[in-house]
Amino acid sequence: MHLGTQQPGISPAPLRPGAHATADPERLVPAVERAARILDALASARQPRTLAELARELDLPRSSLHGLLATLVALDLARRVDAHFTIGPRSLRWADAYGARADVLRAFEAQAAQAHALAAETLMLATLEGADVVYLACRPGTRALAVNYRVGGRFPAAFTSSGKAMLASLSDEAVKERLGPRLAARMTRHSVGSLSTLLRQLHTVRQAGHSIDDEETAEGMQCFGAAVFDARGPHAASAVAVSVIKAGLTPRRRAELIAAVGDLARCISTELGAPSPLARGPGKPT
């Protein structure tokens, strides 16, 4: 197996006020491209801009510009004060999310390099998106696995150790709301088959402080996960996991891996400014 990693690529240059996108214009949605140009103009302006000023700067008809600005204001992406417009507060949420993701990636890379007990193993960093886990980083081990982990790849959270670790930081009601009444189709004959069974698993995760995927995503493979917290709240921001071939895994090595992935999660959490486990309250994975 080749463990997928993020490949360098060519990204479109940021849109400048009044500039055209560097991507193929035929593939752009005009309204979205115009909205991005408006937001770029508002973000770069030192003073709030009027409709007339924006229309001249962006070379857009006032009628369409007025409609786009009204939509951006309604969505809190722009703010109107009298006849002037400025950037809105909603963009800060996106900036915070981008910054948090960059921070956790840096922390994962730094701490994984120091996790000597995990040096030969495949490590993953994942976050929750809806009912799935999405992999933010994957560090290959020395042995091929049955799963091709890659940055941006996703699996049903209910079957993965990283997903179970993050779900365990939520209440049962929040888990039900996120996953719905039925789980995704099983990936293997060992995959958890019902929400009630998963909730029992999550109770065990909360008590043990780590999670296990015992051949739920691939036959012959075990994964051990632990939740990563940051300063934003009591729920897991992400999770780390180690994946190994089950055959030949001794009880001693299994215990070493569980302890090591827990230590890795704690070190990343500390670097991200998370409170101590006691401050998060009882029953939360560490």
Given a cut of 70, is residue 14 above it in pLDDT? no
Highest mean pLDDT among 5-19, 30-44, 203-217: 203-217
pLDDT for res 210: 97
Q: Rounded distance, CA 123 to CA 241, Å?
A: 6
Average of per-residue pLDDT across 230-235: 87
8 A C-beta contact, residue 71 and residue 39: no
Name the pLDDT band for 2 (thresholds 50, 70, 90). Answer: very low
pLDDT score for 189: 97
Asked if the model's pLDDT at residue 214 lies above 70, the reply is yes
Question: What is the residue type of 169?
Answer: S
pTM over 0.75? The answer is no
The Cα–Cα gap between 193 and 183 comes to 7
Give me the mean pLDDT over the 212-220 stretch: 95
- What's the CA gap between 100 and 173, in Å, rounded? 26
- State the virtual CA torsion across 270, 132, 124, 268 in degrees, nearest 10: 0
Mean pLDDT for the stretch of residues 193-215: 97
Amino acid letter, 74: A
d(Cα 55, Cα 63) in Å, to the nearest integer? 9
Q: For tokens 């560490």, name the residue.
A: 286
Instruction: With a cut of 70, say whether residue 31 has pLDDT above it.
Output: yes
The rounded mean pLDDT for the chain is 85
pLDDT higher for 119 or 45? 119
Q: Which domains are seen in the chain, by residue range?
A: 25-88 (1.10.10.10), 94-280 (3.30.450.40)
Report the distance separating Cα 189 and Cα 265, nearest Å.
29
Q: Residue 95 phi/psi, 5° resolution?
A: -65, -40
Q: Which residues does 51 contact at the CB level (< 8 Å), separation at least 6?
A: 62, 65, 66, 69, 83, 85
The set of residues, in sequence order, having a beta carbon less than 8 Å from that of 266 and lying 6+ positions away, is 226, 277, 286
pLDDT per residue over 89-147, tens digit each? 887 777 666 656 788 999 999 999 999 999 999 999 999 999 999 999 999 888 877 77
CA distances to 14, 71, 240 from 31, rounded to whole Å, are 16, 11, 39
Question: How far apart (Å, rounded) are the C-alpha atoms in residues 38 and 35?
Answer: 5
Most distant CA atoms of the chain, gap in Å: 72
